[in-house]
């Protein structure tokens, strides 16, 4: 069965695990536990300290994705299309084809609903698998990041967008920072899976930025749970190396030619 169908089939059966990766070594580990590995444009803030994901370029996404591809054996690999790379349907198709050709990923993710529905329909018509993304949209949010689904106007828009995305043929939708009751309702209404981030346990799956959950990136966002502090382990190793170099304990004959 194709990987996308396998993801859709998980709805109402088993929760979907999605993790980000920006390079081969992390991808190898995420691949062991995730159903979907996402090369998110969050790499802009996590790796490059950009103030916004808007600054991430297509070539940055492609280079990181090529590395990630090397680490993935089984998971579905999804790549974020960066800001302004899908402003028109022809541009979206040209760039999505480039991403897929150069990175061999399985699908692309675009942020938005009704406003970009023509681009999404056009990609799907041209056999490009698409993952949707609704709620908090980092690429187009100006100012402070706030949760979504608080007013009836916002709730209706989210529901309409989710339904439009499903009709247009996306295989799953990321719901970012959406109020619990709204995420729950959208998840119930849809036949395709929802992948939540800060949007409650009622979504069909969950995604987190791997660097956040392993403590490689310091993040104080409410939905981030830190499962381990890998920096501690890195520091232990690096400190020992530095000590041994300075005290001439490394390299011994064993490590020399």
The nearest distance, CB 79 to ligand KIV, in angstroms, is 10
CB of 139 to ligand KIV, least distance (A): 9
Q: Where are the alpha helices (DSSP H) in the chain?
A: 3-9, 24-33, 43-48, 58-71, 89-103, 117-125, 152-168, 180-189, 210-213, 230-246
State the catalytic residues: 176
Residues at the site binding ligand KIV, with contacts judged by CB under 6 A: 20, 38, 40-42, 80, 174, 197, 207, 209
CB of 18 to ligand KIV, least distance (A): 8
The residue behind tokens 């040209």 is: 94
List the one residue out of 217, 99, 110 whose CA is nearest residue 171: 110
Q: Which residue is nearest to ligand KIV (CB)?
A: 40
Task: Using the minimum distance from each CB to ligand KIV, give the nearer residue, 53 or 166.
Answer: 53
Please give the structure tokens belonging to residue 13: 């059966």
Task: Closer to ligand KIV by CB, 176 or 247: give it.
Answer: 176
Neighbours of 112 (CB within 10 A): 18
Q: Minimal distance in Å, beta carbon 177 to ligand KIV?
A: 10
Distance CA 18, CA 41 (A): 15
**Residue partners of 30: CB distance under 8 A and separation at least 6:** 19, 20, 21, 37, 71, 75, 210
DSSP 254: G
Does residue 110 contact residue 140 with C-beta atoms inside 8 Å?
A: no
* 197 strand-pairing partners: 176
| Residues listed for the chain | 257
- Residue whose C-alpha is closest to residue 66's, from 128, 21, 132, 7: 21
In whole angstroms, how close is the CB of 233 to ligand KIV at the nearest point? 24
DSSP character for 122?
H
Kindly tell me which of 130 and 209 has the beta carbon lying closer to ligand KIV.
209
Cβ of residue 142: shortest distance to ligand KIV, in angstroms? 17
């Amino acid at each position: 069965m194709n990987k996308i169908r396998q993801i859709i089939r998980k709805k109402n059966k088993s929760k979907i695990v999605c993790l980000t990766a920006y390079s081969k070594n992390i991808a190898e580990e995420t691949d062991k536990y995730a159903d979907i590995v996402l090369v998110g444009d969050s790499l802009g803030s996590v790796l490059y300290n950009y103030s916004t994901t808007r600054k991430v370029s297509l070539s940055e996404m492609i280079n990181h994705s090529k590395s990630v591809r090397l680490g993935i054996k089984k998971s579905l690999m999804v790549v974020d299309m960066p800001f302004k790379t899908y402003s028109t349907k022809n541009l979206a198709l040209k760039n999505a084809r480039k991403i897929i050709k150069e990175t061999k990923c399985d699908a692309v993710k675009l942020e938005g609903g009704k406003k970009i529905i023509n681009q999404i329909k056009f990609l799907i018509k041209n056999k490009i698998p698409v993952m949707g993304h609704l709620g908090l949209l980092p690429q187009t949010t100006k100012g402070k990041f706030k949760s979504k689904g608080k007013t009836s106007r916002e709730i209706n828009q989210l529901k309409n967008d989710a339904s439009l995305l499903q009709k247009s043929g996306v295989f799953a939708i990321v719901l970012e920072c959406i109020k619990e009751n709204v995420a729950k309702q959208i998840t119930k209404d849809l036949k395709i899976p929802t992948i939540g981030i800060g949007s409650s346990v009622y979504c069909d799956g969950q995604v987190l930025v791997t660097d956040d959950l392993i403590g490689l990136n310091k993040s104080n966002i409410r939905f981030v749970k830190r499962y381990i502090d890998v920096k501690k382990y890195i520091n232990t190793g690096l400190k020992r190396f530095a000590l041994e170099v300075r005290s001439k304990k490394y390299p011994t004959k064993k490590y020399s030619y």
